Amino acid sequence: MNPSVPNEQYLAHPDPWGTTPAATVVAEVASAMEAGLGVGTAVDLGCGDGRHSRWLAGLGWQVDAIDVDEDIISSARERDSDDGRTGHVDWIAGDALSWSPSSPVELVVIGFVHLPLQRLREVIARAAGWLAPGGHLLFVGHAAENLRRGVGGPKDPSTLPELGDLAAGAAGLRVLSLRHELRPAGTATAVDAVLHATTWE
């Protein structure tokens, strides 16, 4: 869940960011699959409305969609359907610092989850530990630089990561990409922070 969007807004408008996945998430997952990552099990951590979970399931992934807010998970579950999909989504209310998958996974996606930075680093580190050998971890979210040069996203700097925060969370992984990504946002530009990492084995 993105804390910049109140619970009431999610429930009144269940797809506040639309139904299509973020373009950077699509591109990074495609890059991983082109490099040899096979379709398997995935975790969408802080899934919110579930747009990334549903998209992954459409590609054949078996997805655990995790969000701390039970009402948002219930709403996403009620609106979801496996019709026409080869994959499946399990909608789970859980906290990223206490929940864990039942077995290692091939992919973890953390999309636009904004937490106090120490907590975010801990979440990324925990998620790194869930990866099967050859698994990939992807974080995409509003960057700290967005406050100075971009638009949208949370206004609280204590929840906006620098690239170093993402690198610290991913310690022990092989970092494939760590960068700022400029994204059109209406007539302006948003600045995202992107981390894509994999295991060494």
pLDDT digit string, tens, across residues 118-138: 999 999 999 999 999 999 999
Residue 11 bridge partners (DSSP) = none
pLDDT at 81 over 90: no
Cβ 100 vs Cβ 128: under 8 Å: no
Residue 17 — very low, low, confident or very high, per pLDDT cuts 50/70/90?
low
Q: Where are the domains of the chain?
A: 7-198
- How large a percentage of the chain has pLDDT more than 90? 87
Q: Which CATH superfamily is domain 7-198 in?
A: Vaccinia Virus protein VP39 (3.40.50.150)
| Residue 110 CA: distances (Å) to CA of 52, 86, 138, 158 | 9, 22, 6, 18
| Residue 157 CA: distances (Å) to CA of 104, 153, 165, 166, 201 | 33, 10, 13, 15, 35
Identity at 70, one-letter amino acid code: E
The arithmetic mean of pLDDT across residues 30-50, rounded, is 97
Instruction: Considering only residues 62 and 82, tell me which one the structure prediction assigns the higher pLDDT.
Output: 62
Instruction: Considering only residues 17 and 171, tell me which one the structure prediction assigns the higher pLDDT.
Output: 171
pLDDT for 9: 53
